[in-house]
Amino acid sequence: MAAAPIFGDPIISATTLNRQSGSVLDRALRGPVTIMRNDEAFALVSRDLAARLFAGLEHASKVVELFEAACDRLLRSFPLRPTHVFEWISAFDEDDLLEMITEVLTAFHRAQSGERTWEEFDAVLHEWEESAWAARSPDLREALNSAGAEVPLTRPTVPPSEE
C-alpha cells in the first residue's frame, strides 16, 4: 500500500535518500519531503520548521484547554477544580472572559502566522493570569473600594544653598 504525500510534498525512496542525500537535504530545506521505506512514510523537515510546528501544537493545546475551561464557566456554570491549570479564570465575570478569549485567540493567530512570536502570545496569557490574581487580592479590592482622600499637592520647598 503506497502512502499518500503527507504535506503535498515530493515522495522520495529511502534508496534515493541514501544515494543522493545532499540533494534530498537541500529539498528539505525548502519544504517537507516524504521518505518512503517499504510501506512506511517519514517526514523530513528542517529543525526550524519542526520547532515551529511543535510550538504551534503546544500552544494550540493550551488554547483549547483554556477555552474548554472558559466554556465550562460561561455555558455550563461549572466551577473549576482548584487544581485546574486555568482555575484563575474564575476571578473573571462573563464580559472579562469574553474579552480574554478574544484577545488570546487573536494573539494565538498572530503567533501562528508568524506576525508575532510565541513569547508574545505567552505574555498575553500571563497578563490575563496576573490580572486574575490581582482581582482576587483583598488588598487591591480594599484600595479600589475605599473613599479617596485626595490631598492637593503643594509647591515643593527648596532649601537655600550654602555657598
Pairing of strands 11-13, 40-44: unpaired
| Same-domain check for residues 32 and 97 | no
Cβ contact 104:64 at 8 Å: no
For residue 97, tell me if it sits in a domain. Answer: yes
Average pLDDT of the segment spanning 52-67: 94
Between CA 58 and CA 54 the distance in angstroms is 6
> What does the mean pLDDT of the chain come to?
87
pLDDT of residue 77: 79
For residue 146, tell me if it sits in a domain. Answer: no
Residue 76: all three cell numbers together: 455550563
| Same-domain check for residues 27 and 69 | no
Number of domains in the chain: 2
| Same-domain check for residues 39 and 55 | no
For residue 124, tell me if it sits in a domain. Answer: yes
For the chain, give the percent of residues with pLDDT over 70: 93
| Same-domain check for residues 35 and 70 | no
Per residue in 65-121, pLDDT (tens digit) is 999 999 988 888 778 888 999 999 999 999 999 999 999 999 999 999 999 999 999
Q: To which H or E segment does residue 116 belong?
A: none
| Same-domain check for residues 41 and 97 | no
Between CA 27 and CA 23 the distance in angstroms is 6
For residue 59, tell me if it sits in a domain. Answer: yes
**DSSP for residue 154:** -
Nearest to 101 by CA among 61, 60, 70: 70
What confidence tier does 1 reach under pLDDT thresholds 50, 70, 90?
Answer: very low
For residue 78, tell me if it sits in a domain. Answer: yes
